[in-house]
Amino acid sequence: MPQPDFNLAESKIAIIGLGLMGGSLALGLRGKCAALYGIDPHLPTLETALSQHIVDYADSDPASLLPEVDLVILSAPVPAILTLLEKLPTFTQNPCIIMDMGSTKKLIVESMSRLPKRFDPIGGHPICGKEKLSLANAERTLYYAAPFLLTPLERTSPRALSAANQIIEAVGAKAKILEAVEHDRILASTSHLPFLISSALALATPQDVSSFIGPGFKSTSRLAGTSSSMMLGVLQSNRENVLNALHGMQNQLADLESALDSSDFLKLESVLNEAQKKYQDFSV
């Protein structure tokens, strides 16, 4: 028998992982669903979530809360999401929608495809965030106007897709559907490579210049402040695409180095003008 259409206002939602992204999502959904359940291994985080009324119920054990909910959102580092998906069938025997917010999608969608039929999975990834993680940095408006990429599976039902779209609309983001493989190829260039470039810049800069750092350096190196524990799983799960993006960057740096080394400033100007035009095209 087909299940009724999803109605966010009547649904109980569990968010596993109450860090920056999960906490911000909870803040954005507060008052827009029947109940919010927060699950996190860090007990002080759970205490904060309850005391500040970010969620209605909280626990460190998924098995204690998941049987109560209609939809589960996995908001954790990629390796943790993959582990949660493996354990999910032991947490609840009840049918529910499963959605994730991982930064890579291919491995997660493959794992979702192996879930028992009682689960209705859909992949997701909001394109927003900050380098400072944790619930303390969560913001109700974090998702406003941000792209929220969805990677449905062949088995994803219209009901699960509707649920994802209602959540995205509720937090003010903009939904866009993308295949998981294409998602990972694109994000390697637009998210994962910038993190590595920021890290390389921070490492290459001498410590004794710190008092001379201005906004240009700060904005360019900002992503180096992101937790390596989160990014390592992203890089591992998207290794080939990140390597391809790195090779492209190395080729561009080699061109710049060659022009400088040979004092070919006409070529250097041409390359820089091309870069400026491309940046302006991105900014439109």
Q: Is the pLDDT of residue 229 over 90?
A: no
The structure's pTM equals: 0.92
pLDDT the model gives residue 230? 86
State the pLDDT at residue 1. Answer: 45
Confidence band, pLDDT 50/70/90 cuts, at residue 2: low
Q: Is the pLDDT score of 35 beyond 80?
A: yes
- Which has the closest alpha carbon to 67: 39, 41, 32, 47? 39
pLDDT digits (tens, 9 = 90+) for 147-201: 999 999 999 999 999 999 999 999 999 999 999 999 999 999 999 999 999 999 9
Position 121 scores a pLDDT of 98
User: What CATH number belongs to 183-283?
Assistant: 1.10.3660.10
pLDDT at 3 over 80: no
d(CA 191, CA 138): 20
Q: Is the dihedral of CA 23, 25, 80, 231 positive or negative?
A: negative
**Rounded distance between C-alpha atoms, residue 20 and residue 39, angstroms:** 14
Give, for 95, the enclosing helix (H) or strand (E). none
Which band of pLDDT confidence, cut at 50, 70 and 90, is reported for residue 123? Answer: very high
Please state the rounded mean pLDDT for residues 58-74.
96
Enumerate the domain spans of the chain: 8-178, 183-283
What local confidence, expressed as pLDDT, does residue 131 receive? 81
pLDDT tens-digit readout, 205-218: 999 998 999 999 99
Q: Where are the beta strands (DSSP E) in the chain?
A: 12-16, 35-39, 57-59, 71-74, 96-100, 119-126, 147-152, 174-177
% the chain with pLDDT above 70: 98
Structure confidence at residue 284 (pLDDT):
52
For domain 8-178, say whether CATH 3.40.50.720 is its number. yes
Residue 145 confidence (pLDDT): 95
